[in-house]
Structure 1
Amino acid sequence: MAASFRSIRRRVWLTLNTLVVLWILLGVLCLQVPPAEFWPAAFIAFSLPAPLALNFLFLLYWLLRRSWLVVLPLSVFIFGWGYYARLASINFEEEVAAGAKTLQVLSFNTHVFNAYTNHDGSEIEASMDMIEWVATHPADIICLQEFYSNRGSSTYNTISKIGNRYNRYRFFSVSYVDRNKADVGTAIFSKYPIVNKGVIRFGESHVNRAIWADVDVKGDTVRIYSAHLQSMSIKSQDIENTYSAIGNEESFKKEGRNLARRLKRGFVARGNQVELLLEHIRESPYPVIISGDFNDIPFSYTYNEMAEELKNAFVAAGSGIGATYNGPLPFLRIDNQFYSEALQAYDFETHYEMGLSDHFPISAKYVLQPKAQE
């Protein structure tokens, strides 16, 4: 009787493990599907962290049972390691050869330096702290999204405080001018000369765009992109409303549909935007580093398209989960730096000490590979 029960239990767990593996395979396939062509695929891909975590639990379960069935989750873990690395990364500090040419890049969605927050004395002080933190960061290149500058304000004259004060070259693409006559957009600041620059506009969106600058790094040119893709458009109030609606079927369905519509709209928009971005990157005559707010998790068509052609700095040189969203949804890594083959990331950091925006800044250090001798 006991043996029969163990056999039934094993079959049940094996069936569940098999279903989890099929879920993973379906999710991986859905990563390849443009949301504009079949948007439900984006939601299936979005769910991938769940079956990946369940597969790891099955791996531990079969190990503890000392069962040969551990082969199933172990195979998924080994062959799917690249997807597990998107969840969490483990890297050790690398030494850089003496005399190597290096470059540090900082990326930060500044949330307009909180300029639109209802101010009291502490809020103004927080904005000033954020601006000072960016201005004094030692990075060679600083890429800023939702950048805000008001020449008529002593607090928010950020072009002067970040650029002029530290003799940085700059490229600021203004998306719009607000009612305070302040400029809002995307910016690149560089210690090295900018020899060329341009803007990639994403269709009708006047806010979301990518800008690029060719930077002369001690005789080598690197193309730097600062990108801001379509927002998820999900506010903390939307999350709270959905949670509070649990138990009220009609209200929960309403809030759930609202969230789903917002997610769908974002998936489709970012899928189109990343294709435009990659078209431009493929034409670059120089090594590229693209950093910014992608507004999509590593299990998305947007991220997957980037990762198929470029390396991710967090995966290559980071450690931990690397969450960059400072909001009500935990563990989201939606800010990234990608780079091409002629570079190598050797250090990556998520700056949790700067928690004044709804994003945490990220920085990476790169080695520029020597040019092949002709």
Structure 2
Amino acid sequence: MSGTFKKIRRRVWLILNTLVVLWMLLGVFCMQVPPSDFWPAGFVAFSLPGALMLNFLFLIYWILRRSWLLVLPLSALILSWNYYARLVAINFATDVPAEAKTLTVMSFNTHIFNAYDKIVEGVPQVSTDMIDWVAEHPADVFCLQEFYSRVNSVEYNNFNRIGTRYGKYKYASTSVGDRIAAHLGIVIFSKYPIAEGGTIRFSNTPERSANRAAWADIDVNGDTVRVYAVHLQSMSIKSEDIENTYSAIGDESSFKKESRNLARRLRRGFISRAEQVQQLLDHVKTSPYPVVVCGDFNDIPFSYTYNELAKVLENAHVQAGKGVGATYNGPLPFLRIDNQFYGPGLEAHTFETHYEMGLSDHFPILATYVLQPKDVE
């Protein structure tokens, strides 16, 4: 009788493991599907990390059971290793060659330096600690999204506080966005000269939208690198939206209302970002120089947006980082929605997330790139 029970149990676990593998395959397939063609694919791809983790747990289970059926989850793990690497990066520190030419790039969504978190008599209280942290960081290039500067304010003129007083060059893609004539948008600061710059305005966003991309050709001691700072369509999900959904559990009608609201926002974001990333890549592919593409992509590594970038470029966290590398400083844990990608002619040597800077709703990310000699590109 016990033998029969063991066979039934093993068959059930095998069926469940097979379903998880099929879930993995479906998730990988859905990452290739443009959400504008079939938006439910975005939600299936979004669930892929769950399938990857369950498959790994099944592998542990079959190993502990000393069963030959471990072949199923092990084969799935090997064949999908690239996706596991997106989930958790495993790299070992190496020294940068002494003779190498390097470029350190920081990307940071500054959340408008918290300018609108508190207003006293119409004067925004900007987080000067965050401004000074950015200004004094030794990175070579800074790609700042949701940048904020009040040109007529000595204290809050961030063009000056971060750039001019430290001798940095800049390319700004901003709009004058409030009643006190503050500049809002994307800014690239560089300690190296900027030869040329430009803005990519996405066709599915208003002219003054913060969702855009800026690029700058940076002269790194005789070699030019094109750096893109990107801010794709936001998920438009606030912490209270998530809290409302959690609190509605148990109230069927309220939960349906809140969960549908979240689903609609996610769907709109999937579709908008898919269109925007194609415009971005069309521009990237025309670059005559090695490229770094970094910023707030507002999408996880298991999305159509990320996957399209990964087809063309390498990801710095995957190649040189460690762990999950979460960048969202909010109520949803483990989200890596800020990234740095790079193309041929560069090699990511180190990558880190600055968790000590927790004043924004994003954490800064920093990568060191080695410029490869032209004769080996």
Which residue does the alignment assign to 2:26? 26
**In 1, Cα distance between equivalents of 2:214 and 2:197:** 7
The answer to whether the 8 Å contact 1:242/1:252 transfers is yes
How does 1:285-304 map onto structure 2 within 5 Å? 285-304=288-307
Q: Is this contact kept in 1: 2:106–2:139, CA < 8 A? A: yes
* Aligned-partner residue type, residue 237 of structure 1: E
Contact map agreement 2:115 2:126 (CA 8 A) in 1: no
Q: Does 2:258 match 1:255?
A: yes
* TM-score calculated relative to the size of structure 1: 0.97
CA deviation after TM superposition for structure 1 residue 156, in Å: 1.8
Instruction: Flag the 1:310–1:329 CA change in 2: closer, same or farther, 3 A.
Output: same
- Say if 2:170 and 2:189, in contact at 8 Å, map to a contact too: yes
**Does 2:141 correspond to 1:141?**
yes
Which letter maps to 2:20?
A: V
Contact map agreement 2:89 2:324 (CA 8 A) in 1: yes
One-letter code aligned to 2:250: G
Choose from 247, 262, 271 the match for 1:244.
Answer: 247
Indicate yes or no: 2:176 matched with 1:153. no
The alignment partner of 1:215 has SS state of strand
Equivalent residue number for residue 220 of structure 1: 223
Q: Distance in 1 between matches of 2:185 and 2:283?
A: 20
Which AA in structure 1 matches 2:71?
A: V
Equivalent of residue 347 in structure 1, options 350, 368, 371:
350
Q: Give the Cα separation in 2 of the matches to 1:236 and 1:247.
A: 20
Instruction: Give 1:20's aligned amino acid.
Output: V
Verify the 8 A CA contact 1:215 1:223 in the aligned structure 2.
Answer: yes
The match for 1:115 is 115
- 8 Å CA contact 1:176, 1:207 repeated in 2: no
Q: Contact 2:118–2:125 at 8 Å: present in 1 too?
A: no
Task: From 351, 360, 363, give the equivalent of 2:363.
Answer: 360
Q: Is 2:96 aligned against 1:96?
A: yes
Amino acid of the residue matched to residue 7 of structure 1? Answer: K
Contact 2:114 2:125 in 1 (8 A): no
Q: Paired residue for 1:106?
A: 106
Q: What is the distance in 2 between the residues matched to 1:343 and 1:160?
A: 31
Give the whole-Å Cα distance in 2 for the aligned partners of 1:313 and 1:298.
12
Tell me what 2:56 maps to.
56
**CA distances 1:208-230 after superposition (whole Å, capped 9, x unpaired):** 00000000101000000000000
Q: Which runs of 5+ in 1 are unaligned?
A: none
* Residue type at the aligned position of 2:158: T
Determine the C-alpha separation between the residues in 2 that align with 1:289 and 1:36.
27
**What do the CA deviations read for 1:238-282 (whole angstroms, capped 9, x no partner)?**
001100100000000000100000000000000000000000000
Whole-angstrom distance in 1 between the partners of 2:156 and 2:297: 25
- Kindly state the Cα deviation for residue 126 of structure 1 after the two structures are TM-superposed: 7.2
Output the TM-score relative to the length of structure 2: 0.97
The gaps in structure 2 that reach 5 residues or longer are none
Match of 1:168 in 2: 168
Counterpart of 1:40?
40
Q: Determine if contact 1:175/1:186 at 8 Å carries over to the other structure.
A: no
Counterpart amino acid of 2:292? Answer: I
Q: 1:50, 1:177 → 2: CA distance?
A: 40
Structure 2 contact 116–124 (Cα < 8 Å) conserved: no
Residues 346, 35 of structure 1: CA spacing in aligned structure 2 closer, same or farther, 3 A cutoff? same
Matched length:
372
Find the counterpart in structure 1 of residue 179 from structure 2: 179
Kindly report which structure 2 residues correspond to 1:2-17, keeping only aligned pairs within 5 A, or say none.
Answer: 2-17=2-17
SS at match of 1:132: helix
Distance 1:119 1:65 in 2: 61
Residue pair 1:126, 1:356 contacting (<8 A) in 2 also = no
Look up the SS of the partner of 1:372 in the other structure. Answer: helix
Look up the equivalent residue of 2:275 and give its one-letter code.
N
Partner residue, 1:84: 84
For the 8 Å contact 1:110–1:146, the answer to whether it is kept is yes
CA distance in 1, matches of 2:124, 2:279: 38
Distance 1:359 1:126 in 2: 16
RMSD: 1.4
Residues 267 and 8 from structure 1, CA distance in 2 versus in 1: closer, same or farther, beyond 3 angstroms? same
Task: Answer yes or no: is the 8 Å Cα contact 2:118–2:124 preserved in 1.
Answer: no
Deviations 1:7-60 (A, max 9, x none): 000000000000000000000000000111110000000000111000000000
Query: Aligned AA for 2:54?
Result: L
**Shift of residue 125 of structure 1?**
8.2
* Structure-2 change in CA distance of 1:167 and 1:62 (3 Å): same
Deviation at 1:175, TM superposition (A): 3.4
Q: What secondary structure does 2:4 align onto?
A: helix
Partner amino acid, structure 2, of 1:260: A
Matched with 2:199 is 199
- CA 1:291 to 1:259, structure 2 compared with 1: closer, same or farther past 3 Å? same
Q: Is the 8 A contact 2:327 2:363 kept in 1?
A: yes
Q: Tell me by how many angstroms 1:373 deviates.
A: 7.5
Greater alpha carbon shift after TM alignment, 150-159 vs 180-189: 150-159
Query: For the Cα contact (< 8 Å) 1:176–1:184, is it kept in 2?
Result: yes
Distance of aligned partners of 1:373 and 1:16 in 2 relative to their CA distance in 1, 3 Å threshold: closer
Question: Which residue is equivalent to 2:332?
Answer: 329
Deviation at 1:135, TM superposition (A): 0.2
**Distance between the aligned counterparts of 1:373 and 1:198, measured in 2?**
29
- Provide, for residues 269-312 of structure 1, a one-character-per-residue CA deviation record: whole Å limited to 9, x for no partner: 00000000000000000000011000000000000000111000
